[in-house]
Copies of this chain bind each other. A is one copy, B any other.
Amino acid sequence: MRSSQYLLSTLKETPSDAEIISHQLMLRAGMIRKVASGLYTWTPSGLRVLRKVEKVVREEMEAVNALEILMPMVQPADLWQESGRWEDYGPELLRLKDRHQRDFLLGPTHEEIISELVRKEISSYKQLPLTLFQIQTKFRDEIRPRFGVMRAREFVMKDAYSFHLTQESLQQAYDQMYQAYCRIFERLGLDYRPVIADTGSIGGHSSHEFHVLASSGEDAIAFSDQSDYAANVEMAEALAPTTERAAPTMELQRHDVKGDDLAALLQPLSVDAQQAVKCVVAQASDNVEAEYVLLVVRADHELNTIKAEKHPAVASPINLLDNHKLTGVHSVFTGPTQFDGLVIADHSAANLADFACGAGENGVWLTGVNWSRDATLTEVADLRNVVEGDPSPCGQGQIKIARGIEVGHIFQLGKKYSDAMKVGVLSETGKHETLTMGCYGIGVSRIVAAAIEQHHDDRGIQWPDNLAPFQAVLIPMNMHKSARVQETTEKLYAALQDAGIDVLFDDRKERPGVMFTDMELVGIPHQIVIGERNLDEGMVEYQSRKGGDKVKLSIDDVVSHLQQQLA
């Protein structure tokens, strides 16, 4: 491609409404343009990258025998009524009516449509297992679309669905898909982690998210510094201390304190946050006789409501209550010593001796508190988020925490949809069997943004080779004044094209500085600079966008040098 016949559309200024670096750089590098909130046009450079992601995703799906199909974006409401999601899905589901006033929706995902297809097409166990996928435009009416294509309303997704007679077959497909996802992100040159994700009521390790690690990521990921273990911080198990609780050594003591900021209030008491606890009141479940449950974690820890909700004594969905409304005691003074209900403490909080806590009276804290002696401890459980330095739940190494951008999610759906929509086949013994399902998503357009979050510097994007809009760029210096520069560049352009290298020839009548700035912003990984001075020696100059020294190459070596770089 020649720049003169291309739409480069680079911007010098950073658009003011772009908050994160990938959004800024996608606008500045001319990859996307906003049409309306959360709606973007992919300009030529952006679409080239998007298509490269699609290509890798498609190849790896086909490698695990997934068959590509294309389902409609506009879906009829009746199938969603059958699955129950027409009612359950919030306002992110864009509902609409056609000219005959029939209900439709813009598909955020396609479980219903695929279930309808499979229940009609597949009648025998012989046709199973079956995995189908599509790469398609989806719509979610986000309340606050932001960060460009990272959280757009219209976006491109790969969604795959698998159908099985048995859990073993589903597990096998799931494991294959897990491996396929790893290959995809590796081929795309991304630093990623498969992360154990929350599976709601299903439980087990039947859901993984794939995160691209980047400081701007919306999710916190806990991973082991010595193994492959990684989980969403909310999901990672906080192990119980291996040491026993120490015996009491201090007397219980009351302190009048000022204010309601926990940290400020501990200071005059000379108590470390690690030696204090904080408490929240939750509605108890019907399983227990008490009305309320006090959830207790160490003052330096965070309560994990997902974990708390899974505790049988806690009402689900979890309902955290304002103790001031219940008893008149402000939350910072709420404590376990005089609590009317069950007291469930996190392992670390339960392991404390001689600790500090709210007295259950406004303006009063206690020190030298000890479980049993001063406060009843009903139960001990994992109630908190892990923190850096915790032992990894896999048994190897310590927890580190990083930020991640979720770009993939694989999930064992089980029979959620196939029960509701009656998706079954005749088994080998002639019995009707409900199928078990898996679903597997990749945010194709989000990957483009996530890759930039991970691969950029202050001059622009640094594309991994397999994602770049062009693999290489030819930058001739003042070509319009030098026939020799022009001839050499044309010759190299033809040779690189013949070698199958996706090359941009920057043939604009621009100053070298403008060309370098643009090409670095757009992020083309490999630059060849053709200038009079080097041509005197029959040489041109190579530079990688990732930095490193400039290398002089003889003209005849350019193709093979780039082939080596791209190999």
List A residues at the B interface (Cβ < 8 Å): 5-7, 9, 33, 35-36, 39-44, 47, 50, 65, 67-76, 91-92, 94, 96, 98-99, 104, 106, 113, 116-117, 120-121, 127, 130, 132, 137, 139, 141, 143, 153-154
Contacts and interface: CB of A to CB of B under 8 A. Distances in A.
B91 A7 contact: no
A69 B94 contact: no
A73 B153 CA distance: 11
B39 A130 contact: no
Given A9-B121, A121-B9, A137-B137, A113 B69 contact: no
A535 B215 CA distance: 64
Contacts of A153: 74, 98
A98 B67 CA distance: 33
Given A6-B67, A41-B113, 10 more contacts: A9-B121, A35-B71, A36-B75, A41-B72, A42-B71, A43-B69, A47-B70, A73-B137, A74-B106, A94-B96
A57 to B, nearest CB: 15
Given A96-B96, A99-B94, A72 B9 contact: no
Contacts of A74: 39, 106, 139, 153-154
B33 A117 contact: yes
Tell me the interface secondary structure of chain A in the complex.
mixed
Contacts of A67: 6-7, 44
Nearest to A36: B76
Given A33-B121, A76-B35, A69 B44 contact: yes
Contacts of A43: 69, 117, 121
B47 A68 contact: yes
26 contacts: A7-B127, A7-B130, A7-B132, A33-B121, A35-B71, A35-B75, A35-B116, A36-B72, A36-B75, A41-B71, A41-B72, A41-B113, A41-B117, A42-B71, A44-B67, A44-B69, A47-B70, A50-B70, A72-B154, A73-B139, A74-B106, A94-B96, A94-B98, A98-B153, A99-B141, A99-B143
Nearest to A156: B70
Nearest to A39: B72
A72 B40 contact: yes
A415 B512 CA distance: 37
A170 to B, nearest CB: 17
A120 B458 CA distance: 26
Nearest to A77: B36
A120 B30 CA distance: 12
A524 to B, nearest CB: 17
A44 B117 CA distance: 12
